[in-house]
Amino acid sequence: MDFALSEEQQAIFDMARDFGAEHIAPHARDWEQDGTIPRDLWGKAAELGLGGLYVSEEHGGSGLSRLDGTLVFEALAMACPSVAAFLSIHNMCGGMIDKFGSDAAKARWLPALCRMDKVFSYCLTEPGSGSDAAALRTRAERTNDGWRLNGTKAFISGGGYSDAYVAMVRTGQDGPKGISSVVVESRAPGLSFGAPENKMGWRSQPTSQVQFDDCAIPADNLLGEEGRGFAYAMAGLDGGRLNISACALGGAQAALDATLRYMGERRAFGQTLDQFQALQFRLAEMETALQSSRIFLRQAAWKLDRAAPDAGKFCAMAKLHVTDRAFEVANQCLQLHGGYGYLADYGIEKIVRDLRVHQILEGTNEIMRLIVSRALLAEHR
């Protein structure tokens, strides 16, 4: 059993960390205030292969494993969890198209996706169906020219910003077997967007409702097989849960690193804060939480790469454990900064706000508990 990263994996991590330090971290607070991420960042990211991490090299991608991907997003999130998470969503869409799309669909969508000439968003959640995703109501009906969509998607990262949307829509009966997946381009007639959401965290990500009002798309915008969209969405979420966990881990690691620096400089009662044993114990607990989370996350990614029968359970457990621990660590880091942690200048309060949503999206942590418990019970029947 080898827990060490290979030389190539260490190089991947270092590359992503250095890119984030140079191109993201110095601007993260400004982008948060602006409520958007400059488009020219994505071209720079694509030059390093970050636009199509899970896409085959044949179609312009990097062909990386899920484990490799967790290294990328952990490293990028050390600069800004919000920007890293947005890129992870784009890559989740690319992975779905590469895995489930026809040869024609791959040739049509993936080269521009990998170059990030086109930014992709993922559309599953609706105003009336969050955790119960199989109850979605957005409907797609066949027409002579393709499909006509009606419905609304909620909490969509990139709503009104992205160039294309991988959307789950109902093409058949109620339940998961009636759901299909389609690609909707931003210029499709009948596509519109709600007002930008005013959020607690992830404020640099433009987020809004995505609305389909007799939205017309060509027939070949169907992704994969009709009626298989829910299965595609769930498969995409296994990888998405790993990525979101990695982003949480990177943000928490950045908070802990900043806290160690602060405690080595800040003095109270005649000594630096890092010399108080009670505070040293807190540091030890936080380091243990992050290191154990890192091992758990990489094990889950390893299982997903090998298509292990229990990979879905491990992805859910990793998402539950890592995002909870990461938020707890970030929150403790804010506490250890005292009043300074509450000030934007120190960067800790932003990490706390950004990481809070990681316990909610890609399936709430309550749903993760449900997935894990059901899998556990099924194994013992």
d(CA 123, CA 142): 20
Are 171 and 221 in contact by the 8 Å Cβ rule? The answer is no
Q: pLDDT for 330-339, tens place per residue?
A: 999 999 999 9
Low-confidence ranges of the chain (pLDDT < 70): none
Are 241 and 316 in contact by the 8 Å Cβ rule? The answer is yes
Among residues 57, 141, 362, 379, the one annotated as catalytic is 362
32 catalytic, yes or no?
A: no
CB burial of 326-341 (b: ≥16 within 10 Å; e: otherwise) equals bbebbbbbbebbeeeb
Q: pLDDT for 3-57, tens place per residue?
A: 889 999 999 999 999 999 999 999 999 999 999 999 999 999 999 999 999 999 9
**pLDDT score at 130:** 79
CB neighbours of 285 closer than 8 A, spacing ≥ 6?
none
d(CA 363, CA 122): 14
**pLDDT score at 134:** 86
Beta strands in the chain (DSSP E): 120-123, 139-142, 146-157, 164-170, 179-185, 191-193, 207-218, 222-223, 267-268, 271-272
pTM for the whole thing? 0.95
